[in-house]
Amino acid sequence: MLTEEIRQKIAQEIAGCEHPREKAVDVMYVLQRHYGYMTDEAVHEAAQLLGMTPLELDELATFYDFIYRQPVGNYVIHVCDGAACWMHHERAVFDYLCRKLGVEIGETTLDGLFTVLPTACIGNCHLAPAMLINGKCYGLLTPEKIDDILEQLVCEACQPVLTK
Amino acid sequence: MSEMVLFKNRREDRAATLDEYRQSGGYEALITAVTTLSPKDVQQQVLDAGLRGRGGAGFPAGRKWAGVPEHGHFPRYILPNTDEMEPGTFKDRILVNADPHLVLEGIILAAYAVSAERGVFFIRPSYEKDAEIIERELEVARQANLIGKNILGSSFSFDITVHRSGGRYICGEASAQINAIQGKRPNPVKGGPHMAEQGLWGKPTIVNNVETLACVPGIVRHGADWFKGLAATPTGAGNKLYCVSGMVQQPDCYELPIGTRLSEIIEGSAGGLVAGSTFKACLPGGASTSFMPKQFFDVEMDFEPLKKIGHRLGTGAIIVFDQNTCLVAATLNLIEYFARESCGWCTPCREGLPFIREILRAIENGEGKEEYIPMLRQMADHMNQAYCAFAPGAVQPVLGLLNYFEEEIREHISQKKCPFCAGHQGSKQALWTNRGNGRYPGAANAEDKFASCPI
């Protein structure tokens, strides 16, 4: 269930908009942050708020890369597999991450912290190989650097104030 | 050293502020436009300057704007396109991060030229920082009356909202972008009404790449001749942001006169190839352009010179491959990308790209047959039947591979393996540490074929 506060906020934003459907992706992002991913319930709620059918909304939810229709971890790792990163061994980044986290590509760690996904070129080709974690870019990756990044995120996740 | 226009205010650590932008002559063009020029004057200046779109297609910006009928409907829209998802391309991100007000002034001038009331700044999710910068600086510009109601006391009113995308390559295509903003599945529209007449919400709409828009303030301020004079070629106009990535010493985005030679960009600006590497080929303008072999190393990187040799400038994003990189594997990477990013709406693209991917995968895995070569060409040609430019663009590297590196395909077939994958049985850790420009321990051993094929 959405909190009344979030519902009100979304409804207000939509009310101020000449074409509510323009807000579809924004609303999905808000609901996704609330539920962790676009649950069936979220699809229905977003559709209702936007004056769309759940089917119309789901057509969008299933289309976009950064809208998740399945549960994901607190930290979604998008590894860039664009041409420049590929040249700098993006496969090795995947392999290293997956081995270290004990998951396959597309899976989430058992503790619910990390999900590893491929993504379209993230526009940081000069920093190849690169990846995004919850939208933040990390480039010039090496195994040591990945170790440090993951360690820091695990550490942050242990401190309740800093978790998502 | 050529004159810097777009990156004049680029800093290492932060975006230029409004004051810094104004100190460098920023918003003078807007003041001139709203006080002394008519919208038609601005259109004419941009037309005379020969500004061509920097987003890939190279369509003349002035002609695009002139497509809005003088007595057409209102409201009219400008869509500054920052859905930069062409592999190898990161110029718009750096531009917005460097000098957001240059981009904003360009958008406002474009809006003035076509009498638009609203801009929708379309931005991909990976560029969230840019979205935040634009939102922050829009507020600063509003406070200074540079945007909003009655700009600088004139009768011209215009404002911009930021539209965050959910993230898909196809949203960069103009008609798909309009669908995306309208909360519809972002399929491109084939044929359909002309967007300059009937675009977003059925109203006149102009979609321009942000680098294109950032060229406009300079044109209005200094004139069409100045802009033309920036170019290194007689047919070109303006400066260009060239992104260089791949096997070069200093991968980055460089502002240079349009038409600067490829050799100068790679060996001069980007510092040449990494130690031990030699140039084998590049994609001159992002992943939707053909491989360009060594024989064109001195080509002038401008629309016309490239067209003359059968290539395209695209986004001007140069991805450099060295002698140890398998181009069959590289093409497979690119086609995997496009097959995944295809919106799936029309059959040639949805079915054809995975078909090509399977053929390439078989060849790369040593299971290729001679007849696969004409099959690849035939399938690549079929992509011209697709709805939009996505599929014909996607197969450009395939055509480049066939046109210039057919021998390399044959080697895969005759040797029943990838000739670049000699030592693949080693650990991934070792793979990782054998390439790159000194970033990785043990990097750049030219004779080491161990890591020659990243697959």
CATH number at residue B168: 3.40.50.11540
Min Cα distance A108 → chain B (Å) is 21
Q: What is the count of structural domains for chain B? A: 3
pLDDT-derived band at B449, boundaries 50, 70, 90? very low
Name the residue of chain B whose CA is nearest to A130's CA.
B126
CA–CA distance, B453 with B333 (Å, rounded to integer): 11
How do the domains of chain A map onto residue ranges? 4-61, 75-162
Q: Among the CATH numbers 1.10.10, 1.10.3470, 3.20.20, 1.10.1760, which is that of A4-61?
A: 1.10.10
**SS3 state at B117:** coil
Query: Which of B167, B246, B317 faces A64 most closely, judged by CB atoms?
Result: B167
pLDDT given for residue B423 in this prediction: 43
Range of the domain at B55: 18-228
CB atoms within 10 A of CB B415: 10
CA–CA distance, B272 with B299 (Å, rounded to integer): 16
Min Cα distance A139 → chain B (Å) is 11
Same domain, B88 and B183: yes
Same domain, B333 and B315: no
Which of 77-106 (A) contact B at CB < 8 A?
78, 81-84, 86-92, 95-96
Asked whether residue B425 carries a pLDDT value surpassing 50, the answer given is no
Among B297, B339, B335, B332, CA closest to B420 = B332
Looking at the complex, does the CB of residue B74 fall below 8 Å from at least one CB of chain A?
no
Out of B185, B208, B228, a domain closes at B228
Name the residue of chain B whose CA is nearest to A145's CA.
B440
Cα B389 to chain centroid distance, Å, stands at 14
Same domain, B365 and B386: yes
B9-17 mean pLDDT = 93
B173-191 mean pLDDT = 92
Token pair belonging to A60:
């969008």
pLDDT given for residue B1 in this prediction: 67
Out of B194, B228, B262, a domain closes at B228
Asked whether residue B447 carries a pLDDT value surpassing 90, the answer given is no
Out of B272, B304, B322, a domain closes at B322
pLDDT-derived band at B192, boundaries 50, 70, 90? low
pLDDT given for residue B193 in this prediction: 60
CA–CA distance, A80 with A159 (Å, rounded to integer): 29
Same domain, B152 and B209: yes
Instruction: Please list every residue in chain B whose beta carbon sits closer than 8 Å to the beta carbon of residue A79.
Output: none
- pLDDT cut 70: percent of chain B above it: 92
Same domain, B151 and B176: yes
Please indicate whether, in this complex, the C-beta atoms of A84 and B87 are within 8 angstroms of each other.
Answer: yes
CATH number assigned to the domain covering A75-162 = 3.40.30.10
Helices (H) and strands (E) in chain A, counts: 7, 4
Min Cα distance A160 → chain B (Å) is 25
Angle between helices A143-158 and A90-101 (to 10 degrees): 40
CB atoms within 10 A of CB B425: 7
CATH classification at residue B354: 1.20.1440.230
Domain annotation covers residue B185:
yes
| Buried-state track B247-264, b at ≥16 Cβ within 10 A, e below 16 | bbbebbbbbbbbbbbbeb
Domain annotation covers residue B48:
yes
Among B354, B408, B403, CA closest to B383 = B354
Domain annotation covers residue B9:
no
Name the residue of chain A whose CA is nearest to B443's CA.
A88
What is the enclosing helix (H) or strand (E) of B163? strand B159-164
Same domain, B167 and B60: yes
pTM tops 0.90: yes
pLDDT per residue, tens digit, chain A (164 aa), is 889 999 999 999 999 888 999 999 999 999 999 999 999 999 999 999 999 999 999 999 999 999 999 999 999 999 999 999 999 988 889 999 999 999 999 999 999 999 999 999 999 999 999 999 999 999 999 999 999 999 999 988 776 544 44
Domain annotation covers residue B445:
no
Query: Which of A21, A67, A83 faces B334 most closely, judged by CB atoms?
Result: A83
CA–CA distance, B76 with B131 (Å, rounded to integer): 22
Looking at the complex, does the CB of residue B87 fall below 8 Å from at least one CB of chain A?
yes
Token pair belonging to B24:
């460098």
Question: Does A54 sit behind a cis peptide bond, omega within 30 degrees of 0 on the bond before it?
Answer: no
B211-226 mean pLDDT = 98
What is the enclosing helix (H) or strand (E) of B31? helix B28-36
CA distances from B251 to A145, B2, B27, B288, B439 (A): 20, 20, 32, 20, 12
Q: Is B366 left (phi over 0), alpha (psi -120 to 50) or beta?
A: left
Enter the DSSP assignment of B273: B
CA–CA distance, B427 with B432 (Å, rounded to integer): 9
Same domain, B206 and B347: no
Please indicate whether, in this complex, the C-beta atoms of A143 and B432 are within 8 angstroms of each other.
Answer: yes
